[in-house]
A and B are shown apart, each in its own frame.
Chain A
Amino acid sequence: MAILDLANPVRFLSLSARILPWIAAAAVVTLAIGFYLAFQAPPDYQQGETVRIMYIHVPFAWLGMFGYSMMAASSIGILVWRHPLADVAHKAAAPVGATFTALCLITGALWGRPMWGTYWVWDARLTSMLVLLLLYLGLMALRAAIDDPNRAGRAAAVLTLVGFINVPIVKFSVDWWNTLHQPASVFRMGGSTIDSSLLWPLLICAVGFTLVFIALHMLGMRTEILRRRVQALEARAAAEALA
């Protein structure tokens, strides 16, 4: 059986109903452990106590980019195979990814004020992250503006793939330009520059927030599948009323 045959809405609803509660529970437990370790970790020698913000800010940044990358992969599924579950996954990821990206910008601003002396600078990393948020919002607006869901899905998929150029710009902006934002310190050539006493809480928080993202996305996908069934039945009811 081809893998695409497994990815149909009925099977997804059945599978997600079974695993969603476990993912949600695992997210709560992992985040509880992560937050405990984050507040037990020593303060950073430069940032002091404000390093606690990094335990949420960094996972939000990763997941903002992860969500958009997932939407780009779904876009290929929409445009090449016209797969209904790819369209559902794409649409459901947008509000979740936008929330994580917005939280990355907000927590970054709240860290920047005491550390840099300002909430915002038009730095390449900050600006490209803001562009990512605008892309998410633009994609949601585009879908809302087109009545035909198939046309809306294809238009959103094209815009997603065009906008995907921004994801490597976000990642490498700190290397390509002279920015106020610090360079990569976890995923970099030569290994992490963060001490393990601070790195482990960060990674555990990242796993916890990833589980939160997956749970919210899965719930959004389930809702979207039901919404499409409702729309199909309402259209059928209207047709039967006319006949």
Chain B
Amino acid sequence: MTHFVFIAASYGVSLLALGLLALWLVLDYRSQRRTLSELEARGVGRRRANRTGESE
């Protein structure tokens, strides 16, 4: 296949970049979800909800 290096590099860079973007988004999502769970476990949101009668 002529110009194989250019074709392989195009697909390789694209898959790598999109894979890294997806990985970064998944890790960031998990990190935020873990932090939110820790805050809720400490009762940060619940104390305000109890005072105001809100259901969160």
List residues of chain A with CB under 8 Å of any chain B CB: 48-50, 52-53, 56-57, 60, 95-96, 99, 102-103, 106-107, 110-111, 113-114, 212, 216, 219-220, 222-223, 226-227, 229-230, 233-234, 236-237, 240
Return 11 A-B CB contacts under 8 Å, by A number: A48-B3, A49-B3, A49-B7, A50-B6, A103-B13, A103-B18, A114-B6, A212-B18, A226-B29, A233-B44, A237-B44
Q: Contact: A110 with B9, CB < 8 Å?
A: yes
Q: Contact: B26 with A114, CB < 8 Å?
A: no
Provide the residues of chain B in CB contact with A237, threshold 8 Å. Answer: 39, 42, 44
Q: Contact: A95 with B21, CB < 8 Å?
A: yes
Among the listed B18, B22, B39, which residue makes an inter-chain contact with A230, where contact means beta carbons less than 8 Å apart?
A: B39
B 2-43 contacts with A by CB, 8 A? 2-4, 6-7, 9-11, 13-14, 17-18, 21-22, 25-26, 28-29, 32-33, 35-36, 39-40, 42
Q: Give B11 Cβ to nearest chain A Cβ, in Å.
A: 7
Provide the residues of chain B in CB contact with A222, threshold 8 Å. Answer: 29
Among the listed A48, A56, A219, A220, which residue makes an inter-chain contact with B14, where contact means beta carbons less than 8 Å apart?
A: A56
Least CB separation from A238: chain B residue: B44
Residue among A96, A222, A226, A236 with the most chain B CB within 10 A?
Answer: A226
CA–CA, A213 and B5, complex, Å: 26
Tell me the interface secondary structure of chain A in the complex: helix
Provide the residues of chain A in CB contact with B36, threshold 8 Å. Answer: 226, 229-230, 233
Q: Contact: B7 with A52, CB < 8 Å?
A: yes
**Chain B count of residues within 8 A CB distance of the other chain:** 30
CA–CA, A219 and B4, complex, Å: 34
Query: Can you list the 10 inter-chain pairs with the closest CB atoms, starting with the nearest?
Result: A226-B32, A223-B29, A233-B39, A107-B10, A114-B3, A237-B44, A53-B10, A110-B10, A233-B44, A110-B6
Q: Contact: A223 with B25, CB < 8 Å?
A: yes
Q: Give B19 Cβ to nearest chain A Cβ, in Å.
A: 11
Q: Contact: A49 with B32, CB < 8 Å?
A: no
Q: Give A39 Cβ to nearest chain B Cβ, in Å.
A: 9
CA–CA, A114 and B10, complex, Å: 13
CA–CA, A60 and B32, complex, Å: 29
Among the listed A103, A110, A114, which residue makes an inter-chain contact with B17, where contact means beta carbons less than 8 Å apart?
A: A103
Among the listed B2, B25, B48, which residue makes an inter-chain contact with A219, where contact means beta carbons less than 8 Å apart?
A: B25
Provide the residues of chain B in CB contact with A99, threshold 8 Å. Answer: 17-18, 21
Provide the residues of chain B in CB contact with A223, threshold 8 Å. Answer: 25, 28-29, 32
